[in-house]
Chain A
Amino acid sequence: MNFVKYGIIFGMTEKVFMKGNEVIAEAAVQAGCRFYAGYPITPQNEIPEYMSWRMDEVGGVFIQAESELAAINMVYGASACGKRAMTSSSSPGISLKQECISYLAGSELPAVIVNIQRGGPGLGNISGSQADYFQAVKGGGHGDYRMIVYAPYNLQELWDLTMLAFDKADEYRTPVMILGDGIIGQMMEPYIPKPYIRPVLPEKGWALTGCAGRAPNVIKSLYMGEGELEMKNNMLQAKYRKIKESEVKYEALHTEDAEVIVVAFGSAARIASSSVRDLRHAGLKVGLFRPITLFPFPEKELQRLSGKGVKFLTVELNAGQMVEDVRLAVNGRSEVLFYGRPGGAIITHDEIQDRIQEIYSGKVLAC
């Protein structure tokens, strides 16, 4: 069966109209993901639902696991065997997966983990939120590890970044997270299903593929020997430094002459883009800076934009998380303000506009 059930062709371009969650699932399949394990939770249920029939079609494995823990440990197993593997969940379920994410990082296993965030803490609610920023970028599990975190803001990016996530996971032998939310996961809009082009990647000589005729491979995160663990950690840190040097992604809109720069990611950036567009039309020098990778964070670029009397307004669907990284990057050279609403509320574009206008009119802003 052709997955493109809802496509339409315009000239040379085909556009497909699907739900965000389905876009992630199909992009994963096209990128060669052949193992998916998950456990149901709203608002990401379309991912396992889609994988349940799609994996069967492509000869992959779909498992509805008995728990989130089981699901991510199955992903660990599939990845150790050299397969492209993915799991997905939403905030409370991602909390449960943290232990194994740390193990994946420690064992240097590639995997893609999708978090379609909902309101927290606890069970919270099922609508969109960005309150898992800290958990995603600061290491939600134990130990000194990082993972690459992509924050898509439309369905085209869900497609492109999911594919990229598999490549980067393999390239660096590291877990990679797609950090979306209930808005981007549930919404439908057209995107162009660009075909997956596999880059040149290192062979998975480390994979557990049966050791007949070669020395056995060992996949582990336990290093008890004298000096062993420190060496391993130094190696991991070197890898994270390389990721910071090479993998930063961001988008800057009207930032060069901007007096106020909104910094936002994912759905919040999407909402803010309307505010910035409208205020530009009204003649205000407003820009939008959108980190696409949350780790590595685009700190050098933010640093470059700071000073010169520029003010930053960080907008998030949480009580203020990424704003800390913006402040670290700006390092006192510019004022960094915050506007956000915590889990349970969605910001509208006119709220952001009001805040920007308050900054312009010189009113003091609570942050």
Chain B
Amino acid sequence: MKEISIIVAGFGGQGILFLGRLIAYGGMIEQKEVTCFPSYGAEMRGGTANCTVILSDSMIGSPIVRNPDMLIAMNEASLKRFQPGVRKDGLLLYDSSFIKSPELRTDIFSISIPASEIAASLSASRIKPANMVMFGAMIAHTGAISEENALIALERLTSQKRKDDIGLNRDAIRRGIMFIEDKKSKDS
């Protein structure tokens, strides 16, 4: 890997910024150069949120990219807004629980992941860590961050008041990884 740029986007409240920070922090543990640039300001709960994460082997210039190598789309609006900008031959991961019949570009590689359904199956509580399922899928597909380091990142970035959710988030990351591994074994 030389440099991967990723846009993470979805509803406000889906843990988009947390996912972005986790990817960046996980990359930092992997001794990569990292930046994480959140959208800020006019965003509100229920609206859209996005952030740009870059992992690199060398110094990162602009933390903002228009044509990312990867898009993690957690809702329809995000897919519509950011898919056109994905670099040719880039990668799209999208939550097919929310994005039912997307118009997908044929010149990028797409993986549909029913992240919200997988997350909902893990817990009866109101917390549905679809973002963590996506995190697991992302690291399994790219190999950019090991599972061990992903879990360290989760541990370090989880605030005191959310410590109770760590177990559930770990399970969700594991399920995301399993989803990609199953898919790979089916495809091969």
Residues of A within 8 A of B (CB): 6, 8, 10, 15, 17, 42-43, 126-127, 182-183, 186-190, 267, 270-275, 277, 346, 348-349
Contacts and interface: CB of A to CB of B under 8 A. Distances in A.
B104 interface: no
Given A42-B41, A186-B40, A190-B34, A17 B28 contact: yes
Q: A-side binding surface: helix, strand, loop or mixed?
A: mixed
Given A17-B28, A190-B28, A43 B41 contact: yes
Contacts of B66: 348
B23 to A, nearest CB: 11
Nearest to A186: B40
Interface in B48-104: 58-66
Pick the 6 closest A-B CB pairs, nearest first.
A274-B61, A271-B62, A188-B36, A126-B41, A189-B35, A187-B63
B152 to A, nearest CB: 8
Contacts, number: 73
A183 B63 contact: yes
26 contacts: A6-B25, A6-B157, A8-B29, A8-B152, A15-B28, A42-B41, A43-B41, A126-B41, A183-B37, A183-B63, A186-B37, A186-B40, A187-B35, A188-B24, A188-B37, A188-B38, A189-B24, A189-B35, A189-B63, A267-B62, A270-B61, A270-B62, A273-B61, A277-B59, A348-B64, A349-B61
A188 B24 CA distance: 9
Contacts of A270: 61-63
B28 A43 contact: no
Interface string B14-36: 00000001001100110101111
B61 A277 contact: yes
Given A183-B37, A183-B63, A6 B156 contact: yes
Contacts of B29: 8
Contacts of A346: 62, 64
Nearest to B156: A6
A189 B34 contact: yes
B36 A271 contact: no
A180 B52 CA distance: 20
Nearest to B41: A126
Interface-central residue, A43, A187, A346, by most chain B CB under 10 Å:
A187
A126 B39 CA distance: 11
Given A188-B35, A275-B61, 11 more contacts: A6-B157, A17-B21, A42-B40, A42-B41, A43-B40, A183-B37, A186-B37, A189-B60, A271-B61, A274-B61, A346-B64
Contact of B31 (A6, A10, A17, A42): A10
Given A126-B41, A274-B61, A187 B36 contact: yes
A183 B64 contact: yes
Contact of B40 (A17, A126, A273, A277): A126
A187 B37 contact: yes
A186 B25 contact: no
Contacts of B33: 189
A43 B58 CA distance: 28
B45 to A, nearest CB: 17
Contacts of A127: 41
